[in-house]
Amino acid sequence: MPKRLAYLGPAGTHTEKACLTYDPEATRLPFPSIEAVAAAVESAGADECVLAIENSLGGSVTDTLDLLIHDSTLFIRHELALPITHSLLVKEGTQAKDVKTVFSHPQALAQCRSYLSKHLGGAQRVASMSTSAAVEEMLQRGPDAAAIATERAGHLHGAKVLVNGIEDNPNNMTRFVVMAPTDHPHTGADKTSVCFAFTEDAPGVLHSVLGEFARRKINLAKIESRPTRESLGRYIFLVDLEGHRKDPEVQEALKAVESQVSMFKTFGSYPRHGPPF
Amino acid sequence: MPKRLAYLGPAGTHTEKACLTYDPEATRLPFPSIEAVAAAVESAGADECVLAIENSLGGSVTDTLDLLIHDSTLFIRHELALPITHSLLVKEGTQAKDVKTVFSHPQALAQCRSYLSKHLGGAQRVASMSTSAAVEEMLQRGPDAAAIATERAGHLHGAKVLVNGIEDNPNNMTRFVVMAPTDHPHTGADKTSVCFAFTEDAPGVLHSVLGEFARRKINLAKIESRPTRESLGRYIFLVDLEGHRKDPEVQEALKAVESQVSMFKTFGSYPRHGPPF
């Protein structure tokens, strides 16, 4: 039976492309919010889900981090990284010089800012809830509208690709995580993600906590902070480290960290990114 | 002559409210993007500017951090923190039960998610480029539309306030920075913001760099990471520390940090937040 893979819809987004890369045979189930995506797996309505977690230009996808911290019982089981490219889509017959309005998600509009000012100088930018929704909104308008989305969204909705690859920065990559009820067994080339918070003034303790990893020569791949949602100036720290949480030295370091912090959560261990899975 | 204060417009946003709190006498100059806001000060078209930098729920305003890191020669001269409240605005005559569509900036829509599902269950959420633009879009629609924005945006545009304080979390605060061509002289209760990056694998070095502050008992108020924009997994670290960059021990620590990193930038020293300025 094919795997049931939940993702943030609609079809035609970069996240759907990540699903296709991860498991082309899976049955893809689009949901309207990341909470609904995770809930589908938690209620066994889907086997796994795919969520964007970090972009090389925009940084962390904070909704996904906050879901991991506050609202989910799932584990990270895989990660994968994909190049992000944007296409300029129009109705059949529309030419670049006709375009007066460009629809897209604010982040995609921002990622194509230089292209838009250079080639569509006077066009007004209009926000959509997703790049795929932008294509639908564009198609409902006159011949003076365009949308920024994936080429696939264009095909799905019957829009025409005017230009591919209009993103300003060629280093545009997004990292996605596959979340599931259990994390991944040891492979020997693993990563582990955890988060923690302090009751005391954070950053002095942070230095001591990072020392637990440094002293065991455990490499940290990432460190990030998120608000606790309680007050300004209180943070939860997220750390990605190299190794599996069942590795003896990782286990020891995590135990030492846990004893110094007021809140600790493991997001799981998983093979380091990219195929092969 | 009143101070000329640039900000991210249009009028009626939370940032305009921050301008009014910071200096009610100033001439407020709205600009359409944060790059344009900073450029206004850099070209002496404005004396100072106000930008949101961090929200207690959403976390850092990454556009402002990236402007500080990559694109601006300005210094942080002040900071202030304001409570953020959202109002539900409609056309005169519209009642809650009529509302089928709610316009707002995606972040404001997200911050009122529980209120919307509880009280306006079936309403469709539509993205706008700003909360203030949402009010204008709502007013152009029929009597079944509402907008989420500041009460002041309602007054400015002639919309009616249906409900105040519809945000889900009462701990919703935003920290703003005032940027200027120079930072603030020493006051004795100061903060300093800097950023740095490593060419080597970051987090082992990060532990050593944080040690420069820990050993001098310099408290860190915040640590954050942003992508370098070069590749996934490379970060620039932003640190807010207590003290002025002219304080001897801060000066010493920053010098020691600078010698260990490949990139270093000072955003300036300024009095710790809130009035009095």
Encoding tokens for residue B229?
């924009």
Alpha helix stretches (DSSP H) within B158-237: 202-215
Nearby residues of B47 by Cβ (< 8 Å), 6 or more positions away: B3, B4, B5, B41, B180
Residue A57 pLDDT level (bands cut at 50, 70, 90): confident
A56: chain B residues, CB-CB within 8 Å: 227, 229-232
- Beta strand B263-271 with B190-197 is antiparallel
* Predicted confidence (pLDDT) at residue B137 exceeds the cutoff of 80: yes
Question: Which single residue is written with the structure tokens 């190299």?
Answer: A242
- Per-residue model confidence (pLDDT) at position B202: 55
Produce one character per residue of B141-166: b if its CB has 16 or more CB atoms within 10 Å, e if not.
Answer: beeebbbbbbbbbbebbebeebeeeb
Distance from CA of B2 to the nearest CA of A (A): 31
Q: Cβ of B227 and A126 within 8 Å? A: no
Residue A50's Cβ-side half-sphere holds a number of Cα atoms within 13 Å equal to 29
Nearest CB to A203 within list B175, B220, B232: B220
* Predicted confidence (pLDDT) at residue A275 exceeds the cutoff of 50: no
B169: chain A residues, CB-CB within 8 Å: 229
- Per-residue model confidence (pLDDT) at position B152: 92
- Per-residue model confidence (pLDDT) at position A266: 97
Encoding tokens for residue A85?
């490219």
Q: B181 preceded by cis ω (within 30°)?
A: no
Q: Cβ of A207 and B211 within 8 Å? A: yes
Mutate which: B8, B35, B57, vs A, most A CBs within 10 A: B57
B203: chain A residues, CB-CB within 8 Å: 210, 213, 219-223
In degrees and rounded to multiples of 5, residue A100 shows phi and psi of -115, -20
Which chain A residue lies closest to B223 (C-alpha atoms)?
Answer: A225
The DSSP string of B21-49 is: HH-TTSEEEEESSHHHHHHHHHTTSSSEE
DSSP element (H, E) containing B125:
strand B124-127
Residue B277's Cβ-side half-sphere holds a number of Cα atoms within 13 Å equal to 13
Query: For domain A190-271, is the CATH number 1.20.120.530?
Result: no
Distance from CA of B63 to the nearest CA of A (A): 9
What single-letter amino acid sits at B114? Answer: S
What count of other Cβ atoms lies within 10 Å of the Cβ of residue B219?
15
Beta-sheet strands, E only, within A56-93 = 59-60, 75-83, 87-90
Q: Cβ of B227 and A127 within 8 Å? A: no
B127: chain A residues, CB-CB within 8 Å: 105-106, 127-129
Single out the residue of A242, A250, A249, A175 nearest to residue B201, CA to CA.
A242
Secondary structure of residue B253 in the 3-state scheme? helix
Q: Cβ of A224 and B224 within 8 Å? A: yes
B210: chain A residues, CB-CB within 8 Å: 203, 206-207, 210
Is the separation of the CB atoms in A22 and A80 below 8 Å?
yes
Q: Cβ of B58 and A62 within 8 Å? A: yes
- Per-residue model confidence (pLDDT) at position A277: 33
Distance from CA of B45 to the nearest CA of A (A): 22
Q: What are residue B101's DSSP bridge partners?
A: B124, B145
* Predicted confidence (pLDDT) at residue A21 exceeds the cutoff of 80: yes
Single out the residue of A226, A235, A251, A242 nearest to residue A198, CA to CA.
A235
Residue of A217 and B233 predicted with greater confidence: A217
Greatest CA separation found in chain A? 65
Residue of B195 and B227 predicted with greater confidence: B195
Encoding tokens for residue A153?
């969204």
For chains A and B, count residue pairs whose Cβ atoms are closer than 8 Å: 125
Q: Cβ of B56 and A229 within 8 Å? A: yes
Query: Same CATH fold, B87-163 and B4-83+172-180?
Result: yes
Nearest CB to B59 within list A55, A129, A227: A227
A125: chain B residues, CB-CB within 8 Å: 129
Chosen CATH of B4-83+172-180 out of 3.40.190.10, 1.10.10.60, 3.40.30.10, 2.60.120.260: 3.40.190.10
* Predicted confidence (pLDDT) at residue A189 exceeds the cutoff of 90: yes
Q: Cβ of A56 and B231 within 8 Å? A: yes
- Per-residue model confidence (pLDDT) at position A203: 58
The alpha carbon of A8 is separated from its chain's Cα centroid by a whole number of angstroms, namely: 10
Q: What is the DSSP letter of B188?
A: S
Lowest-confidence region among A87-91, A125-129, B51-55, B115-119? A125-129
Is the separation of the CB atoms in B79 and B48 below 8 Å?
no
Q: Report the alpha-carbon distance of residue B271 to residue A149 in Å, rounded.
A: 44
Nearest CB to B232 within list A126, A175, A225: A175
What does the pLDDT average to over B59-65? 90
Q: Most confidently modeled of A101-115, A178-192, B226-240?
A: A178-192
What does the pLDDT average to over B221-235? 87
Residue B244 pLDDT level (bands cut at 50, 70, 90): very high
- Per-residue model confidence (pLDDT) at position A58: 83
- Per-residue model confidence (pLDDT) at position B275: 42
B58: chain A residues, CB-CB within 8 Å: 62, 227
Q: For domain A4-83+173-180, give the fold.
A: D-Maltodextrin-Binding Protein; domain 2 (3.40.190)
Mean pLDDT of chain B: 91
Residue A107 pLDDT level (bands cut at 50, 70, 90): confident
Nearest CB to B127 within list A62, A127, A229: A127
Give pLDDT tens digits for A239-268. Answer: 999 999 999 999 999 999 999 999 999 999
Residue A198 pLDDT level (bands cut at 50, 70, 90): confident
Report in angstroms the alpha-carbon separations of A7 from A13, A39, A140, B222. 10, 11, 26, 33
Distance from CA of B1 to the nearest CA of A (A): 35
Single out the residue of B68, B32, B65, B34 nearest to residue B49, CA to CA.
B34
Q: Cβ of A207 and B203 within 8 Å? A: no
* Predicted confidence (pLDDT) at residue B61 exceeds the cutoff of 50: yes
Per-domain residue ranges of chain A: 4-83+173-180, 87-163, 190-271
* Predicted confidence (pLDDT) at residue B62 exceeds the cutoff of 80: yes
Q: Cβ of A210 and B214 within 8 Å? A: no
Report in angstroms the alpha-carbon separations of B202 from A13, A193, B64, B163, B208. 32, 16, 23, 48, 10
B54: chain A residues, CB-CB within 8 Å: 227, 232
Q: Report the alpha-carbon distance of residue A221 to residue A69 in Å, rounded.
A: 18
Is the separation of the CB atoms in B149 and B131 below 8 Å?
yes
Q: Cβ of A231 and B127 within 8 Å? A: no
Query: Whole-model pTM?
Result: 0.86
Report in angstroms the alpha-carbon separations of B224 from A84, B90, B257. 24, 39, 16
Q: What percent of chain A has pLDDT over 90?
A: 70
Encoding tokens for residue B170?
């009462």
Single out the residue of A15, A16, A70, A6 nearest to residue A42, CA to CA.
A6
- Per-residue model confidence (pLDDT) at position A78: 96
Q: What is the CA radius of gyration of chain B?
A: 21
Report in angstroms the alpha-carbon separations of B75 from A106, A232, B155, B168. 27, 22, 34, 34
A230: chain B residues, CB-CB within 8 Å: 56, 171
Mean pLDDT of chain A: 91
Chosen CATH of B87-163 out of 3.40.50.11540, 3.10.580.10, 1.10.10.10, 3.40.190.10: 3.40.190.10
